[in-house]
Homo-oligomer: A and B are copies of this chain.
């Protein structure tokens, strides 16, 4: 049997996961404050694991512990988006370069190819949510292929921070046709071992995404999300 008997997740871990879900779903809205005891009641546990979870999530930039005010869910401003996209742009384009340099065989590249296919299928059927998920996967696979665990965790943290903003703007965007074209080009560059090209194209791709999303936020006066 490969399947472990499902070791029963600690309360702290549960709190981390459930709080993340509540934040991403907007159930705990950006900018809102919540007492530790309130969250404890809500998740049906004592304050201790809540505090521990909050400490962890604070380190991940999702919330802030303000003594006597409670836990504040951090809003993301346009300036934050600019900061985050700058970081993502650099680290992901380096990842593209490194991935290309590793001369990976097509088996290793399968997940990346799959994510591109998924995006294209989603586009055809107009399933934007699906497209966004596949897009996430593409970026995640890209940094996986580069094999730098720090980059992986930084990129995943930054993605978490912009998740709400991304899902809000998702339906305000034009169909991401160009985006898919970019992905395919990055993929080809990696496959052919051209690190410089993979890096350049991906960088341009991310810079465009930044412009697009920042533009949308400003246009719609969405300063704090």
Partner of A83, one of B55, B87, B150, B158: B150
Does A105 sit at the interface, judged by CB under 8 A? Answer: no
Fill in one digit per residue for A68-104: 1 if any B CB lies within 8 Å of its CB, else 0: 0000000000000001101100110010001000000
Q: How many copies does the complex hold?
A: 2
**Min distance, Cβ A136 to any Cβ of chain B, angstroms:** 19
Which 8 A-B pairs have CB atoms at the shortest separation, nearest pair first? A59-B59, A90-B90, A55-B55, A83-B148, A83-B150, A90-B94, A87-B150, A52-B55
User: Size of chain A's interface in residues, with CB distance under 8 A?
Assistant: 21
- Beyond A52-B51, A55-B55, A56-B59, is A83–B154 a contact (Cβ under 8 Å)? no
CB distance from A62 to the nearest CB of B (A): 12
Provide the residues of chain B in CB contact with A84, threshold 8 Å. Answer: 150
Taking the closest CB of chain B, its distance from the CB of A116, in whole angstroms, is: 25
Does residue A106 face the partner (Cβ distance < 8 Å to B)?
A: no
Task: Give the nearest-CB partner of A57 in chain B.
Answer: B59
Instruction: Point out the residues of chain B lying under 8 angstroms from A40, CB to CB.
Output: none
Q: Residue A5 at the B interface, CB < 8 A?
A: no
- Cα–Cα, bound, A11→B51 (Å): 15
CA distance A62 to B16 in the complex (A): 20
Q: Does A60 contact B (CB under 8 A)?
A: yes
Q: Which residue of B lies closest to A154 (CB)?
A: B154
Within 8 Å CB of A55, what residues of B? 52, 55-56, 59
Q: Type the 1/0 row for A86-130, where 1 means its CB is closer than 8 Å to any CB of B.
A: 110011001000100000000000000000000000000000000
